[in-house]
Amino acid sequence: MSSSPPTSSARWWGLFLIALAQFMVIMDASIIGVALPQMQVDLGFTPHDLSWVFNAYVIALGGLLLLGGRLSDLFGPRRMFATGWVILAIGSLVAGLAGNVPVELLGRVLQGAGSALIAPAALTLLMMLFGANPKELTKAMAFYGAAAPAGGTAGVFLGGVITEFASWPWVFLINVPIAVLVLLVMWKALPGGKLGARGSVDVIGALTVTVGLAALVYGIVRAEVAGWASPETWIAIGLGVILLVLFVIIQRVKREPLMRLSIFRSPNLGAANLAQVLLGGAWVPMWFFLNLYLQQVLGFSAFPAGAALLPMTILIMLGMIVLAPRIIAAVGPKVPIVLGLVILAVGLGWMAFIRPDGNYWVDAFGPSLIVAFGQALAFIPSLQVAISAAPPEEGGLASGIVNTSYQVGSAIGLAVVSAVAAGFGAGQLGDTEALTQGYSAAFIAAGIIALAGAILVPMFFRTKRPTRALPVS
């Protein structure tokens, strides 16, 4: 691996840019939530199609992350990091200036594509900056991991502020000056060079996995409207499954695949990615429906709803930065991953006791802290194992896989849990009894996902500690 290492102080500025990238990737998924009603009026979305403002971004992001990781390995992570920010800025301009539904969705797809280049390159750059020092690496991973929940909460909070005091296009346009700033300062703070990987780009594999994920998520989301007995639902789901199976076959037979399947022979790589899938599948639906409960049942406006999530965000950031590294150092990654998933499931079970006439301090505050603590324990060790288990020259691929795991888990988890919530009354706006029942069912479903992770992940763990990145003492 060749690189131009920045100075010691510049490395920590590099970490700031990497954490900012993670912050923005997650924020762009959540910032549109409060703005959706006004976008529906201005652009002419139907109630069902409105969900695709979220789905278009997440599917493009999740479907193209493997391609982003491969491009990072082939052409250098700093170059792909910069390219991703350019595409994100262009997509943000298109989405912010859109005057109709197709252009808006095009902008969101471009945003997702840009983020799919940024995310794996950012993780690879982090390994290049800090991988030689295990103590610093664990700290850097903690800061990087903490940027995700901060971005999710900031998206809700900023989306409400921007929509209320400016206008909805600025939830997208705010990305443009940030992207320009990053592009101006990144060259001195981030290392250049390539990782030593050679070969071509598997375009067919990238298209197959992206369209397959899109069809699968479309089928699950569409089931809320068309019904689970509808041929449309099962044709879409079946097409998605077929394309994803075809993707695996292509990766097995192609000489230079997008994702070398044998990479999963690396110790614990599969277990760590399974943990990330189920963490995303439990956490994102929790965050989504807790926000809806605060606004649609308890009557919070956008600003108080965002503020109500701040204690959860602060705890998860402290847990990732301060607590998780010490637990990893003491017992290795397996125990905190499993324990975190169990605690997440317990918190979601408590959250399911929400009441239509409840209040924030009784119904939401306590369980939100429990789920935040569980997520903080499980996220950092699973992320570190997923990255450190792969060979250095495939750091971009490993980064792409773990980001894909979390984003795909989030998209499918949200689609499944949303279908469960709708089946228990979550679509009956104005009826707080029905909404509460639906949201309670959503929290139970998310808790089952977390509990499944606590049961399944230990079955695939083969060692107690990550292969390269040892934790702090």
pLDDT of residue 7: 57
pLDDT of residue 467: 41
Task: Identify whether the C-beta of residue 63 lies closer than 8 Å to the C-beta of residue 209.
Answer: yes
C-alpha dist (Å) from residue 96 to 21, 113, 154, 177: 20, 16, 19, 13
pLDDT of residue 202: 80
Closest CA to 386 of 297, 452, 467, 451: 467
pLDDT of residue 194: 64
pLDDT of residue 452: 96
Low-confidence ranges of the chain (pLDDT < 70): 1-9, 34, 47-48, 153, 194-199, 224, 302, 392-393, 395, 427, 429, 463-473
Can you give the pTM of this predicted structure? 0.79
pLDDT of residue 165: 80
